[in-house]
Amino acid sequence: MVVAEAMTTQQEATVFVVDDDPAIRKSLRWLIESVGLKVQTHELASEFLESYSPDRPGCLVLDVRIPGMSGLELQEKLRERGYDIPVIIVSGYGDVPMAVRAMKAGAVDFLEKPVSDQVLLDYIQKGIERDIKNKAIRLQNKELLERKATLTRRELEVMDYVVSGFSSREIAEKLNVSFKTVEAHRAKIMKKMQAKSVPKLIQMELQIQGTPAPIQDR
């Protein structure tokens, strides 16, 4: 399904670096490229925001103290636009209070300078994996919602009862219809939703409602 396809985008992932220090940008580019990852560096947060496409998997390595738009302001802009790219804050000792604020605003990790190369790479890899997984779940939810939109009003009603654990006979009684009618609706629901079993249908509905883990084809 979509999850397996999304995992292939690992090699397409980009690490975005926003830092006003050219030496740090150069050093981080060399480090990240040394492990085969793509890198895009920016001096200003506004530059990153203008060029960023949410369709690209990756993560953002961000310094909180940047001229112009600060790291905190960039996070706010990303949130306003509905972008949930994982943000790794890399901050100096004096920036710790600000970095804590950034974490509370949604940053996934906070690293205090100086940070070892391996530690930073480990956090970057974790951020990329998180972003790929989140994108896979969103794509899968879109698929499921599109399937659910094909159901009739009565089929939606029957599906609600099915995922709530009611049997066909119980549903027939509640809707004042025949057992065969309910069974016919169930068959159409399973076909339209591409569900191989009732537990799979329940799992699909839970995912639509916000279950964090993607559905596996097993």
Supply the pLDDT for residue 217: 44
From 111, 135, 159, the end of a domain falls on 135
Supply the pLDDT for residue 96: 79
Would you give per-residue pLDDT tens digits along the chain (218 residues)?
Answer: 444 444 446 668 999 999 999 999 999 999 999 999 999 999 999 999 999 988 889 999 999 888 899 888 999 899 899 898 999 988 877 677 887 888 887 788 888 888 899 999 999 999 999 999 888 888 889 999 999 999 999 999 999 999 999 999 999 999 999 999 999 999 999 999 999 999 999 999 998 887 544 444 43
The 3 state secondary structure assigned to the chain is: CHHHHHHHHHHHCEEEEECCCHHHHHHHHHHHHCCCCEEEEECCHHHHHHHCCCCCCEEEEECCCCCCCCHHHHHHHHHHCCCCCCEEEEECHHHHHHHHHHHHCCCCEEEECCCCHHHHHHHHHHHHHHHHHHHHHHHHHHHHHHHHCCCCHHHHHHHHHHHCCCCHHHHHHHHCCCHHHHHHHHHHHHHHHCCCCHHHHHHHHHHHCCCCCCCCCC
Q: Are residues 64 and 129 in the same domain?
A: yes
Q: Determine phi and psi for 21, rounding to 5 degrees.
A: -90, 115
Supply the pLDDT for residue 2: 43
For residue 110, give its domain range.
2-135
Q: Are residues 119 and 31 in the same domain?
A: yes
Q: Are residues 88 and 165 in the same domain?
A: no
Q: Are residues 127 and 72 in the same domain?
A: yes
Supply the pLDDT for residue 1: 43
Supply the pLDDT for residue 212: 43
Supply the pLDDT for residue 9: 63
| pTM (two decimals) | 0.74
- 68 within domain boundaries: yes
Supply the pLDDT for residue 10: 67
Domain with residue 182: its CATH number is 1.10.10.10
Q: Are residues 48 and 126 in the same domain?
A: yes
In the chain, the number of structural domains is 2
Q: Are residues 13 and 119 in the same domain?
A: yes
CA 43 – CA 184 distance, rounded (Å): 61
Supply the pLDDT for residue 71: 87
